[in-house]
Copies of this chain bind each other. A is one copy, B any other.
Amino acid sequence: MSSEDRKLDVLRAIVEDFVSTNDPVGSRALSERHNLGVSPATIRNDMAALEEEGYIAQPHTSAGRVPTDKGYRLFVDRLSATKPLSGAERRAIQSFLAGAGDLDDMLRRTVRLLAQLTRQVAVVQYPTLTRSSVRHLEVVDVGPRRLMLVLITDTGRVEQRVLELPLAVCDDDVNELRRILNTHLQGRRLADAHAALIDLPDVVTPALRPVMTTIVAGLVEALVDQPEERVVTGGTANLTRSAMDFPNSLHPVLEALEEQVVLLRLIGEVDSSTVLVRIGGENPHEGLHSTSVVSVGYGAGDTALGGLGVVGPTRMDYAGNMTAVRAVARYVGQMLAGS
């Protein structure tokens, strides 16, 4: 084993010890708990080098070392072994998700499960509209010159939108609108719906044209221009467990977790194959600079329908969280495919 390799072993040991004890780790403790085969003095030299290179740091002169963001990054990229799920965890996942009814229910369960498995804050995104397709589009008359459109996607999402109409419509009109919308949109992917939508005003009777134009405008806005993304979070209480890891109090973290936009940027930009880890300062949002985010896309097949992940202190069990997140995502994908 070259001395370079041992340096990395030392870094790995530091990360593991620090994650589990939350105490800065010194050379002596290191040589005792891991059999690296060298004396503390040698470890000290390695540590000096690691510090020089920016992988670890000392809170103060007479303290042990603590991994830096950069250190965690190296750990995650090259040092952490993938941790297999325990049988209990595997069973927990299945029994948790098996009983799910509709999509809402399933995602609620998912977020709970993920929070429980990782003991972190869990975040789950609803299947994104743009990559879903139309299963049914319902038109309901709701009061004078108002229609409610209810979109049901193949992933089970149900989205509503109320439109103000330029003129009143009767029941027959509503039925006609529903029929036309469904014939032209059913099965279509929402990303491609635009093309189909713009032609619709022309296929209805002239009397209905203004109404259809309004509907099309509403749909285009809701589905294409600014498709509504949804996220659910859970397990916020887990943050207090690691309160000591957030020097500036939980405030900025909790604030960030309330912003849908922030959450979407965290877990929405992932593909379904690889787990993405963002460590400390790598996070786009200021308030999350003392947290790490582990996320992955889920989906039935190759394209990611949405993302899910966990948010916790940088001092987290990366290996464990990565496998948990990956496993849950796979199950969610299966559930969606099977429905």
* Cβ contacts under 8 Å, A138 to chain B: 136, 138, 140, 150
A234 CA / B291 CA spacing, docked (Å): 21
Known A-B contacts A135-B142, A160-B102; the reply to A258 vs B235 at CB < 8 A is yes
Q: Does A162 contact B (CB under 8 A)?
A: yes
Q: Does A148 contact B (CB under 8 A)?
A: yes
A252 CA / B236 CA spacing, docked (Å): 11
* Cβ contacts under 8 Å, A162 to chain B: 101-102, 156, 339
A251 touching B236 by the CB < 8 A rule? Answer: no
* Cβ contacts under 8 Å, A258 to chain B: 234-237
Q: Does A92 contact B (CB under 8 A)?
A: no
**Additional 8 contacts, C-beta under 8 A, given A104-B160, A236-B236:** A101-B161, A102-B148, A103-B160, A136-B138, A142-B156, A150-B158, A236-B258, A240-B254
* Cβ contacts under 8 Å, A148 to chain B: 102, 136, 152, 156
Point out which of A162, A237, A255 has the most chain B C-beta atoms below 10 A from its C-beta: A237
Q: How many residues on A have C-beta within 8 angstroms of the other chain's C-beta atoms?
A: 34
Q: Does A241 contact B (CB under 8 A)?
A: yes
Q: 15 A-B contacts, Cβ less than 8 Å apart?
A: A102-B161, A135-B142, A136-B140, A136-B148, A142-B339, A152-B160, A156-B160, A156-B162, A158-B158, A158-B160, A236-B254, A237-B254, A237-B255, A239-B254, A250-B250
Q: Does A98 contact B (CB under 8 A)?
A: no
A250 CA / B250 CA spacing, docked (Å): 10
Report which of B142, B236, B257, B339 forms a contact with A143, defined as CB distance below 8 A.
Answer: B339
Known A-B contacts A156-B162, A158-B158, A162-B101; the reply to A240 vs B249 at CB < 8 A is yes
* A185–chain B nearest beta-carbon distance, Å: 13
* Cβ contacts under 8 Å, A339 to chain B: 142-143, 162
Which chain B residue has the least Cβ–Cβ distance from A235?
B258
Q: Does A243 contact B (CB under 8 A)?
A: yes
* Cβ contacts under 8 Å, A103 to chain B: 160
Q: Which of A176-209 contact B (CB under 8 A)?
A: none
Which chain B residue has the least Cβ–Cβ distance from A141?
B136
Which chain B residue has the least Cβ–Cβ distance from A101?
B162
A217 CA / B221 CA spacing, docked (Å): 38
Report which of B158, B160, B240 forms a contact with A250, defined as CB distance below 8 A.
Answer: B240
Q: Which of A325-339 contact B (CB under 8 A)?
A: 339
Which chain B residue has the least Cβ–Cβ distance from A158?
B160
* A316–chain B nearest beta-carbon distance, Å: 18
Closest 4 CB pairs of A and B: A237-B254, A240-B251, A237-B255, A136-B140
